[in-house]
Amino acid sequence: MTTLKAKLKDDLTAAIKARDELRSSTLRLTLTALQKEEVAGTEARELSDGEVEKIIAREAKKRREAAEAFDKGARPEQADRERAEGEVLAEYLPKPLTDDELESLVAEAVAEATGAGAEGPRAMGAVMKIVNPKVAGRADGGRVAAMVKKLLAG
């Protein structure tokens, strides 16, 4: 079992013992998503920590989107619950990049891509190929793309 998955299970046990309903339900749902992913496909497999992290990030994104939908639907209690669940999941994800850190990583990637001959807005794909592995799991794709466009525009 991967260390991150083991940590989730240990934290679930602790949350149940502490009668922390929010934390235990959030971790149960996340572990269920992990289990579904493990048995998906033709044969069962063990997930790596990186894959577990991606699934946790996907679950956190679902919580953010649900909170926005509940806000639009005038259901603040549900929106608050979704945000709280998202905060629980955020504890298991790497620290997100600040705008300055993201900008410096993107600037390096732009310099590398222009050094390889890519220019102007058409260099977007080349820059994204360089920067995506560096920011994986630490910055939203839309945020990265916006920063790349901003720096490529000059």
Tell me, what's the pLDDT at 99?
80
Contact between 15 and 56 (Cβ < 8 Å): no
Segment 3-46, tens digit of pLDDT: 889 999 999 999 999 999 999 999 999 999 999 999 988 888 88
Q: Where are the beta strands (DSSP E) in the chain?
A: none
Contact between 76 and 70 (Cβ < 8 Å): yes
Q: Which residues of the chain have pLDDT under 50?
A: none
As given in the structure block, the two tokens for residue 115 are 């050094």
Contact between 97 and 135 (Cβ < 8 Å): yes
Kindly report the pTM of this predicted structure: 0.74
CA distance 57 to 91: 11
Contact between 39 and 46 (Cβ < 8 Å): no
As given in the structure block, the two tokens for residue 130 are 């360089």
Tell me, what's the pLDDT at 98?
81
